[in-house]
Amino acid sequence: MPPRSSVYQLPPEVQEELNTRLVGSGFGGYRDLSAWLKDQGYHISKSALHSYGQEFELEFKSSMEAAFTVEKLSKALVAQRDDSEAAMLEAAAMVGQEILLKLMIALRQAESDPTKAAKTISLATRSLADLGRMTLDQKKWQDQLRKQLQEEAGAKLDRLEAGARAGKGKLDAETLRIVRQEVYGLA
């Protein structure tokens, strides 16, 4: 396994600024980035930066694709339902699960220290389980809310129908039956 890039030895804030500059430069300008790092007190060759930049570009593009996937999934789910926040959470959970699975596979293949790999995979597995529980809890909440709304609508329609049968309602019984079935989908 080749040695790890010296870019990973940079302090987090310098590496973050380097990442920002890489994205801003369209993943080019390695000579200028090397000079900037030298001004910061870090000597990293442009070839080392290029290797790091190519790797970071792949990660960046993958992250952007995941973000677009979440957006597409949530728009598709919202088009089918009225609960846009729930659809966004569901789409994010789906993409998150996919990313965690890919991460676990990559860690298993790349990590040379089995103890470190096992710990990281354990954390990823726990995150995956948490996402699964979140999705299940969300679905339970949606079902409970849907049931509660149907019960409330049914009760209100029952009162309106009772008023209509007694001749005190503003709507006749047939109109209320149509509303119950067509609008609320209640028998």
Domain assignment present for 171: no
Whether 116 is covered by a domain: the verdict is no
Predicted pLDDT of residue 36: 94
- Domain range holding 48? 1-59
Q: Which one, of 70, 120, 109, 65, lies nearest residue 91 by Cα?
A: 70
**Mean pLDDT computed over every residue of the chain:** 77
User: What is the model's pTM?
Assistant: 0.43
Looking at residue 2, what DSSP letter applies? P
The per-residue pLDDT for range 70-104, each reduced to its tens digit, is 667 766 766 666 555 666 666 667 777 677 666 66
49 neighbors 25 (Cβ within 8 angstroms): no
Q: Which amino acid is at 142?
A: Q
Within-domain flag for 121: no
Q: What integer is the mean pLDDT of 21-44?
A: 91
Evaluate whether residue 136 is within a structural domain: no
Q: Are 168 and 134 in contact (CB under 8 A)?
A: no
168 within a domain of the structure (yes/no): no
Residue 143 lies in a domain: no
Number of separate domains in the chain: 1
